[in-house]
Amino acid sequence: MQHLYLYLSLLTKHKLVLCYNGKHFSGSQLQKQGERTVAEEVIKALSALYQTEIAIMMAGRTDAGVHADGQVCSYKAKLDIPEYGIVKRLNQLLPDDIQVKSVEKMPLSFDARKSAINREYRFVFSKGNIPFYMQDFITKVFFSVDESLLSEFIPILVGTYDFRNFQNSGSKMKSTTRNILHFSLQKKTLTSLYDDHNYDVFEAKFIGNSFLYRMVRNIMGAIFEVLKGKQTVENFKKLLTEEYKVYRYTTAKPQGLCLVNVTY
């Protein structure tokens, strides 16, 4: 027992906040050999920094092509390195499409996934032309958006519901009930970095306790069917209240989606 206390006293727990461009990743979590993932690159950099194998836990799962500006991971290490040194060295070790934004020492009980209270995702799409350098981060749609419908989804999605109709197969979650604390869908204007031209985009903002596999992208795909005029808002609402098999939708593309923040 004394040896256990000594070992624990040498351990430090850290919280890393990461941002990354998901374009060239097969997702955030470790997968089969040969597929590039965010976790693989972070583990490789941490292990090089501490000169030993480091295990990590991520706050949320992002699919292939999905980005993050506030992904969080936690890890334990025996070597105590100053926070500024960790950030500087990891950003030297990591590839250009991942960056450490901050690092913070935490209690040993902290777990990036289990300790999280809420997660925030944003999905951006546009029906018009967008600058070439923004195309990795905005989903292009090819239908006119009926802006009068945008606010009608807010009272429908906010609350606690069974989101089984928005879950892709492959998830191991026992419960498909989730709580959406905030949802908004609104038009925004972006200004080009180079020619001062303004571009209209639409942004959907989701804040919830947790999300099912591809839940946000599936919700957006279902919303697109209404905006196209192929389904009604009332039919969309049925997806949250019953097994509504008639409603067909296509999962929205990943590049418009970003994990923005995790709250603890």
Centre a 10 Å sphere on the Cβ of residue 171 and count the other Cβ atoms it contains.
14
Which tokens in the block code for residue 53?
A: 């194998």
Q: Which of 55, 16, 13, 63 is nearest to 37 (CA)?
A: 63
Q: Which residue has the tokens 């000169």?
A: 51
Residues 6 or more apart from 90 whose CB is under 8 A from it?
16, 45, 46, 49, 100, 103
Measure the CA–CA gap between 135 and 32, rounded to whole angstroms.
Answer: 28
Contact 206, 236 (CB under 8 A): no
The amino acid sitting at 9 is: S
Which tokens in the block code for residue 39?
A: 């976790």
Helical spans, DSSP H, in the chain: 2-10, 38-50, 83-93, 154-157, 215-227, 233-238
DSSP letter at 174 equals: S
Helix (H) or strand (E) holding 11: none
195 is known as an active-site residue: no
Measure the CA–CA gap between 150 and 191, rounded to whole angstroms.
Answer: 22
Contact 18, 30 (CB under 8 A): no
Catalytic residue selected from 63, 69, 80, 162: 63
DSSP letter at 164 equals: G
Q: Which residue has the tokens 């090819």?
A: 142
Q: Which residues have a catalytic role annotated?
A: 63
